[in-house]
Amino acid sequence: MRALQISLSERGLPEARVLPWTDVIAGVTLEDVGVRECTVVKIESPGEDWDTERALLELGYDAPDSEEHLERVHPAQLEFDTGRIHPSRQWYLGFCGALEVIQRQLETLGRSAMNHPEDIAVMFDKRATHAKLEAVGVRVPPALGAVNDFEELVTAMRERGWHRVFVKLAHGSGAQGVIALETNRDRWLATSTVEMVGAADGLRLYTARRMWRHTDLSSIRQLVNAVCRHRVHVERWLPKASFDDKNFDLRVVVIGGHARHVLVRARADLSRTAPRQRTRRLELRA
């Protein structure tokens, strides 16, 4: 948001009026902050703000869901805890509820947003995004269907002959809750930034600053089962290309069905054994 305000200022345009997500949930409307027929509306990510996260978790607690087995936390038990991974499905349900509020207000005002609320909801759901891309012919890694625990994951991997997969939070971001899982016969290795901590109310998950490597099957089972309670997306682990001894992928901004901007994201291997496809020269054209 700060970058947008700077860009507006540099162009001599008035500062954008901001309606915080917490205000949307509290009942403040777009009309209350001056949205009119000629107003351009842009929906920004909730970002890393505890007050917003808590409000979305509270909103999602009672939201109906076909996947009732997934973890939820009562609003009275929500407290700030640095790095803790709160129930991401509950957060997502609250987020979708807030998006629906915004969409209804836009329709009442006869306005549309630069980014449609329904599209945003899809993009915050890895399973839905994967299915949508695949349906229109975009190449995506092969993925499993719904996986609810470690045993289901092992069965699905064996049926397909897969030895390496990524287990991801369906509604996570920034590599939160990702597990790189690989097996060789009866040996297993799970690599993740997820840290498991026992507490009086059960097992808690945290995003750690270090990479955890698990080879003990019982620990791996416990980790996968805990992440699955948040709802996961599982896809085959494919080799990445590399450049200057770093793996890379691309972040592509698509506007109106066309790739407009391409950003290279380079990083070290998630595991030292990760296969790579070496690239001698990298050329990008949007």
Look at residue 129 in the predicted model and tell me its pLDDT: 96
Confidence of residue 126 (pLDDT cuts 50, 70, 90): very high
- Taking only the tens place, the pLDDT of each residue in 182-224 is 999 889 999 999 999 998 888 999 999 889 999 999 999 999 9
At residue 25, does pLDDT exceed 90? yes
Percentage of the chain exceeding pLDDT 90: 71
Look at residue 255 in the predicted model and tell me its pLDDT: 84
Confidence of residue 175 (pLDDT cuts 50, 70, 90): confident
Angstrom CA distances, 251 to 13, 115, 145, 163, stand at: 28, 17, 25, 27
d(CA 241, CA 246): 8
Confidence of residue 283 (pLDDT cuts 50, 70, 90): low
Q: Count how many residues are written for the chain.
A: 286
Look at residue 231 in the predicted model and tell me its pLDDT: 97
Q: What is the DSSP string of 205-274?
A: EEEEEEEEEE--HHHHHHHHHHHHTT-EEEEE-PPEEEETTEEEEEEEEEETTEEEEEEEEEE--SSTT-
Give the CA angle between residues 133, 136, 140 to the nearest 5°.
40
d(CA 160, CA 154): 10
At residue 285, does pLDDT exceed 60? no
- pTM for the whole structure: 0.88
At residue 276, does pLDDT exceed 60? no
- Taking only the tens place, the pLDDT of each residue in 127-174 is 999 999 999 999 999 999 899 999 999 999 999 999 999 999 999 987
Instruction: For residue 143, give the nearest of 162, 123, 122, 125 by alpha carbon.
Output: 162
Look at residue 280 in the predicted model and tell me its pLDDT: 47
At residue 274, does pLDDT exceed 50? no
Pick the more confident residue, 86 or 269: 86
In 10 A of CB 195, how many CB atoms? Answer: 17
At residue 110, does pLDDT exceed 70? yes
d(CA 124, CA 158): 29
Angstrom CA distances, 73 to 143, 253, 262, stand at: 29, 35, 39
User: Are the C-beta atoms of 255 and 116 separated by less than 8 Å?
Assistant: no
Look at residue 173 in the predicted model and tell me its pLDDT: 85
At residue 38, does pLDDT exceed 80? no
Confidence of residue 13 (pLDDT cuts 50, 70, 90): very high
Look at residue 269 in the predicted model and tell me its pLDDT: 58
User: What mean pLDDT value characterizes the chain?
Assistant: 90
Instruction: Collapse the DSSP code of 276 into the 3-class scheme (helix H, G, I; strand E, B; otherwise coil) and give the result.
Output: strand
Confidence of residue 39 (pLDDT cuts 50, 70, 90): confident
Tokens of 8: 């507006």
Confidence of residue 53 (pLDDT cuts 50, 70, 90): very high
At residue 54, does pLDDT exceed 50? yes
Look at residue 103 in the predicted model and tell me its pLDDT: 96
Look at residue 196 in the predicted model and tell me its pLDDT: 95
